[in-house]
Amino acid sequence: MARTRALVVEDEPDIAGLIKHALERGGDIQVEIAAAGDLALKSVAEAPPDLVILDLNLPVVNGFEVCRILRMRPDTQRIPIIILTARSSESDRVVGLESGADDYITKPFSMRELTARVQAVLRRGSGGSAAAAAAAPMLYRGQNLVVDFEAISVMVDGRSARLTRREFELLQFLVQNRNRVVSRNRLLERVWGYERDVETRSVDVHVGRLRAKLGASARQIETVVGLGYRFVD
């Protein structure tokens, strides 16, 4: 069986080495390291990995820009990206998630937590999301929104909308459970793959980004104060 390929983009050799050692310990992940943003983009272009762990303070091209570029390219827009950085402010976290990151972890960090989050992201990209995908409707057609879940196609007012992998899976799960309130914790469990409570700001930011791409259909994703979100017909 081919091993999962992870690209660690980190300019601190000691930190990069620790991450590589921790992730490769189980034998099912192969880690490559890029010490600068431009080197990361070149590596991904030559051989797209299954996962990117991305620092923000990088030489040549910073992590925010690397994330945006990867999300703009059709062949890399669905690669899971975990930002791992010393920048811990709420504004940095929001910008990172708005740039297209699937998760945001601040330094100093627990290697055990990082490993758990990596496994959660990988589960979502493989068998972990299969059951949800199978249970979801193959096609949703609304007044302004048409989604073909099998073809991974989203049309808003007759125009194609480009969603990230996380945004698409979020929309899919909300549509699957339409007219029912879905809590943030349940979204984290089913869309992000987490098995315990984590920072819920990621959910709110991704919902905001998804709404921004849905035009008039954004109103179909309702916020239920104190409970979560609901997709309505």
In the chain, where the domains are located: 4-125, 129-231
CATH number, span 4-125: 3.40.50.2300
Give yes or no for residue 15 having a pLDDT over 90. Answer: yes
Mean local confidence (pLDDT), 71-77: 88
- The answer to whether 96 touches 64, Cβ cutoff 8 Å, is yes
Find tokens 């601040």 and name the residue.
106
- The answer to whether 87 touches 106, Cβ cutoff 8 Å, is yes
pTM of the predicted structure, to 2 decimals: 0.66
**Torsion 181-203-67-156 (CA) sign:** positive
- 129-231 CATH pick, 3.40.50.2300, 1.10.357.10, 1.10.30.50, 1.10.10.10: 1.10.10.10
Percent of the chain with pLDDT over 90: 52
- The answer to whether 233 touches 183, Cβ cutoff 8 Å, is no
Q: How many whole angstroms separate alpha carbon 187 and alpha carbon 144?
A: 24
Percent of the chain with pLDDT over 70: 90
Q: Which residues, 6 or more positions from 2, have their beta carbon under 8 angstroms from its beta carbon?
A: none
How do residues 22-55 score in pLDDT, each as one tens digit?
999 888 899 999 999 999 999 999 999 999 999 9
Q: How many whole angstroms separate alpha carbon 232 and alpha carbon 94?
A: 26
